Amino acid sequence: MCFSIFKKKTVIPEPVIPDPVIPESETIEMTRADFIKEMNKQGIKAFSELTPLDSTVRLASKAELDRIAPELVYPADWYINDIYDCEDYGLQAQLDAGRKFEITVRLGLGNTELGYHGFAITLDRDLNLWLLEPNVGFPWAGVWFKDGENDYHPDKVFI
pLDDT at 159: 77
Our measurement of the distance from residue 46's CA atom to the centroid of its chain's CA atoms, rounded to an integer in Å, reads 15
User: What's the distance, CA 139 to chain centroid?
Assistant: 18
* Percent residues over pLDDT 70 in the chain: 82
Residue 137 has pLDDT above 90, yes or no: yes
Confidence check: pLDDT of 81 > 60: yes
Please report the pLDDT score of residue 54 as a whole number: 80
Residue range 27-157 forms a domain whose CATH class is alpha beta
Backbone angles phi, psi at 117, to 5 degrees: -145, 150
Question: Is the pLDDT assigned to residue 15 strictly greater than 80?
Answer: no
User: What phi, psi does 16 have (nearest 5°)?
Assistant: -100, 115
Mean pLDDT, the chain, whole residue set: 86
Q: Per-residue pLDDT for 2 more than 90?
A: no
pTM, two decimal places: 0.79
For the segment 34-73, what is each residue's pLDDT rounded down to a tens digit? 998 999 999 999 887 665 578 899 999 999 999 999 999 9
Can you give the three-state secondary structure of 108-138, one letter per residue? EEEEECCEEEEEEEEECCCCCEEEECCECCC
Work out the end-to-end distance of the chain between its first and last CA atoms, rounded to an integer number of angstroms.
Answer: 56
Closest of 149, 140, 157, 150 to residue 39, by C-alpha? 157
The rounded Cα 60 to chain-centroid distance in angstroms is 14
d(C-alpha 60, C-alpha 58), whole Å = 7
The angle subtended at Cα 117 by Cα 115 and Cα 121, nearest 5°, is: 140
The predicted pLDDT at position 16 comes to 58
